[in-house]
Amino acid sequence: MATELGSQSGILIRIMSVEDYKQVKIFMGGNFYNGEPLCASSGEDVQKCHEKENDEYHISMIEQGTCLLAVDENNGGRIVGLVLAGCQVPSDLEKHRKEADEMEQNTWGRIAVFLSEIERKVNIFERYGVSKLLYSHITNVDASMRGKGLGARLAAALMEVGRSKGFPMMVAYCSSFYSARQKQALGMECIYEHAYADYKDANGQVVFKPAAPHTHLRLMVIKL
């Protein structure tokens, strides 16, 4: 498959390489962790939570050729958006449960526990009879580019990558109201949602308190 996936209005979408990761990490520090609802509302420097493990996980996805970069061709190739995505198989359900249980009780650890509970409850592999799927882990767009359709372009491009690699399905856990709405507009279906107000710890305290309209975690799927 071609490395470059299309240019529009000077913004090129291409396959991410491992060599890109240093700049990707800087971009995420300035755009993702302070914008994603669960991270942004935590009061914690979430990029520092399980940083080494997350770096390793992100690089493992990049090596699969399933991660995308959007770069501004008129501004020295500056990163303006990205997708981190990778393959998941049924054994990952138990792998993720063990990893989440062993994490520190920081924001990223709590998010991992929450997502693991949902993915085991829904069990897409059993539900749809598939042996692998493309998991859209993080989609992030530079603040200056939001509202211009770039997130939708990235999601659509990822679907094409998934089809070219033989994935039967793509899934995304949308913590943001806007990301869920965008993916729904691209044909993705919400098959499960969980209100943050209903997710509580052992003491009965609500774990995540992002600002409205981010009220639910939504699991979005599409057959490719």
Tell me: pLDDT of 125 over 90. Answer: yes
Q: What are phi and psi of 168, to 5 degrees?
A: -80, -20
What gap in Å lies between CA 185 and CA 189, rounded to an integer? 9
Residue 60: the pLDDT is: 98
Residue 163 sits in a domain whose CATH number is 3.40.630.30
Contact by Cβ (8 Å): 132, 88 = yes
Contact by Cβ (8 Å): 103, 113 = yes
Segment 167-213, tens digit of pLDDT: 999 999 999 999 999 999 999 999 999 999 999 999 999 999 999 99
Segment 127-162, tens digit of pLDDT: 999 999 999 999 999 988 888 899 999 999 999 999
Instruction: Provide the domain count of the chain.
Output: 1
Which structural domain range is residue 189 located in?
4-223
Q: How would you label 83-119 residue by residue, b for 16+ Cβ within 10 Å and e otherwise?
A: bbbbbbeeebbeebbebbeebeebbbbbbbbbbbebb
Contact by Cβ (8 Å): 107, 42 = yes
Verdict on whether the full-model pTM lies above 0.95: no
Cis peptide before 213 (omega within 30 of 0): yes
Segment 40-78, tens digit of pLDDT: 999 899 999 889 999 999 999 999 999 999 999 999 999
Segment 77-105, tens digit of pLDDT: 999 999 999 999 999 999 999 999 999 88
What gap in Å lies between CA 53 and CA 65, rounded to an integer? 19
Look at the block and give the residue holding tokens 């939001």. Answer: 146
Residue 144: the pLDDT is: 86
What gap in Å lies between CA 80 and CA 130, rounded to an integer? 33
* Cα–Cα distance list, 187 to 102, 134, 222 (Å): 36, 16, 7
Residue 193's contacts (CB-CB under 8 Å, 6 or more residues apart) are: 216, 217, 218, 219
Among candidate residues 170, 154, 143, the one with its CA nearest the CA of residue 15: 154
- pLDDT bin (cut points 50, 70, 90) of residue 9 is confident
Strand (E) or helix (H) holding 94: helix 92-102
- pLDDT bin (cut points 50, 70, 90) of residue 2 is low
Tell me: pLDDT of 15 over 70. Answer: yes
Tell me: pLDDT of 1 over 60. Answer: no
What percent of the chain lies above the pLDDT cut of 70? 99
